[in-house]
Amino acid sequence: GGPASLSRFRGALVAGVLGDCIGGEFEGAEEVPMESVLQHLSSLDDETKGTGILEYSDDTAMARCVAQSLLTRTGFDEHDMARRFAKEYSASPHRGYGAGVIQVLKKLSSPQLNDVYQPARDQFNGRGSFGNGGAMRAAPFALAFPDLSDVKRFAHLGAMLTHSCSLGYNGAVLQALAVHLSLQGALDLPHQFISRLIKEMEEVEGDEAARNDARILKEAEKPFCERLHRIRDLMDRSKVSIEEVISELGNGIAALHSVPTAIFCVLHCLQPRECLPESYGGVERTIAYSLALGGDTDTIACMAGAIAGAHYGIETIPLSWIRCCEGVEDADQYAERLYKLYHQSQIVI
Ligand code: F2R
Ligand code: MG
Ligand code: MG
């Protein structure tokens, strides 16, 4: 479809859920041979193997809260979103949440709480979390707001409800920006896509808080920009091994070690790859490649899936994958409703 078509909206949310559900199999694994990935994926096609329904984890549980809140409030409402996170956690605590964020979610359920951002600020002795939990749920922000400055602003605030370290919330901003640009068709020109992300993140990472956090954590002055430059270098190479991707970009639970990696997975899989079946479409290639990196596979595949789904659209996603993942129908409905919200807010009165 054309820029910001319904197919792209559906692709983004559905492929995000698939990445989470399918990627859960390998989360935390140090090495994942491509052979094991392909076996896992082919078992999804084979109904006789009785894979059953693959459950979604915290990534999708929280993204659903973001989508529901943006739709119900027709925009960003921090109190409503915080309430939904807390309620979802208390109803279903065994979705594999991060060890630290659980404290925030418990505090958010207190009726006495006035400042919904305070529990996140108290994390890690006041330094805040740099985990990828803000980024893993950021895609719906790109689908709710057509304006790029709104996407940045609300992805930042939405992440701050649990992640007050700039290395956490700026990962969410980067992920939302990547989905936003992909939705516009920007991945048709991959080098321009990455340059645009660098330009936007130069501004995002230019503020005092980001510089301060980077200094304390002994990272580069603008850590996400530095990783985006590494992606550009990797893109220009004719061959890149999985080991090089992991050592240059990471595959861990920190936003800095996973959001740029997810973006690289999408870019690397824009063309067919030798290690992947020729029959695979772009979303299949992207998710398969993300799993082969090991580490935080559900989250990297979820984020890469959302960016790739916004590029290729819903029609490219195999039905066999859709059928075996929990929460896909809901994601599809949220996508349709967000599509309407997005296009309504573009009407100039
Ligand atoms: N938690 C997991 N996977 C672990 C295994 C789960 C297990 N399989 C199960 O079944 O239970 N996955 C999910 O967590 C990631 C998102 O985490 P989030 O929301 O960012 O959580 P948190 O706790 O804020 O941060 C994660 C960890 O990062 C370290 N960390 C963060 N900030 C830190 C700081 N300032 N100083 C030191 N360490 C910091 C801590 O170890 C946190 O626990 C996703 O992968 C999701 O799938
Ligand atoms: Mg998870
Ligand atoms: Mg994870």
Residue 100: band (very low, low, confident or very high) from pLDDT cuts 50, 70, 90: very high
Reference 308, options 297, 316, 319; nearest CA is: 316
Does residue 268 lie in a domain region? yes
Predicted local distance difference test score (pLDDT) of residue 283: 98
- Residue partners of 5: CB distance under 8 A and separation at least 6: 313
Q: 348 pLDDT exceeds 80?
A: no
Q: How far is CA 348 from CA 3, 153, 344, in A?
A: 19, 21, 9
What's the distance, CA 285 to chain centroid?
17
Does residue 297 lie in a domain region? yes
Q: Whose CA is nearest to atom 40 of ligand 1?
A: 100
Predicted local distance difference test score (pLDDT) of residue 2: 87
Residue among 253, 261, 300 to mutate when testing ligand 1 (max atoms within 8 A of CB): 253
Work out the mean pLDDT of the chain and round it to a whole number.
Answer: 96
Report how far ligand 3's centroid is from the alpha carbon of 303 (Å).
Answer: 10
Predicted local distance difference test score (pLDDT) of residue 238: 84
Does residue 349 lie in a domain region? no
- Residue partners of 160: CB distance under 8 A and separation at least 6: 117, 120, 134, 169
Does residue 177 lie in a domain region? yes
Q: 217 pLDDT exceeds 90?
A: yes
Both tokens assigned to 46: 């084979």
| Number of Cβ within a 10 Å radius of residue 79 | 14
Kindly list the protein residues that place their beta carbon closer than 5 angstroms to ligand 3, a single-atom ion: 296, 298-299
Does residue 173 lie in a domain region? yes
Binding pocket residue ranges, ligand 1, CB within 6 Å:
27-28, 57-59, 96-101, 124, 127, 129-133, 136, 165, 253, 296, 298-299
Predicted local distance difference test score (pLDDT) of residue 9: 98
Q: 48 pLDDT exceeds 80?
A: no
Q: 349 pLDDT exceeds 60?
A: no
CA triplet 10, 17, 87: central angle to 5 degrees? 110
**Residue 213's domain is classified under what CATH number?**
1.10.4080.10
Does residue 150 lie in a domain region? yes
Q: 163 pLDDT exceeds 80?
A: yes
Report how far ligand 1's centroid is from the alpha carbon of 257 (Å).
Answer: 12
- Taking every pair of C-alpha atoms in the chain, what is the biggest distance, in angstroms? 57
Predicted local distance difference test score (pLDDT) of residue 50: 59
The residue with greater pLDDT, 100 or 238, is: 100
What is the domain range of residue 121?
Answer: 6-344
* Lowest mean pLDDT, pick from 7-16, 71-80, 230-239: 230-239
Is the Cβ–Cβ distance between 301 and 307 less than 8 Å? no
175-199 pLDDT tens trace: 999 999 999 999 999 999 999 999 9
Is the Cβ–Cβ distance between 200 and 181 less than 8 Å? no
Report how far ligand 2's centroid is from the alpha carbon of 1 (Å).
Answer: 30
Which ligand does the CA of 299 lie closest to? 3
Predicted local distance difference test score (pLDDT) of residue 17: 98
113-144 pLDDT tens trace: 999 999 999 999 999 999 999 999 999 999 99
Q: How many domains does the chain have?
A: 1
Both tokens assigned to 340: 């309407």
What's the distance, CA 233 to chain centroid?
22
Residue 52: band (very low, low, confident or very high) from pLDDT cuts 50, 70, 90: confident
Mean pLDDT of 308-331: 97
Q: Give the ligand 1 atom nearest the CA of 104.
A: 24
Does residue 1 lie in a domain region? no
**Residue 212 burial by Cβ neighbours in a 10 Å radius (0-12, 13-18, 19+):** exposed
Does residue 62 lie in a domain region? yes
Q: 261 pLDDT exceeds 90?
A: yes
ipTM summary value: 0.96
Q: 66 pLDDT exceeds 70?
A: yes
Both tokens assigned to 348: 């100039």
Q: Alpha-carbon distance 289 to 302, whole Å? A: 12
Report the run of H or E that residue 240 belongs to, with start and end: none
Q: Give the ligand 1 atom nearest the CA of 163.
A: 24
Is the Cβ–Cβ distance between 229 and 249 less than 8 Å? no
Is the Cβ–Cβ distance between 13 and 328 less than 8 Å? no
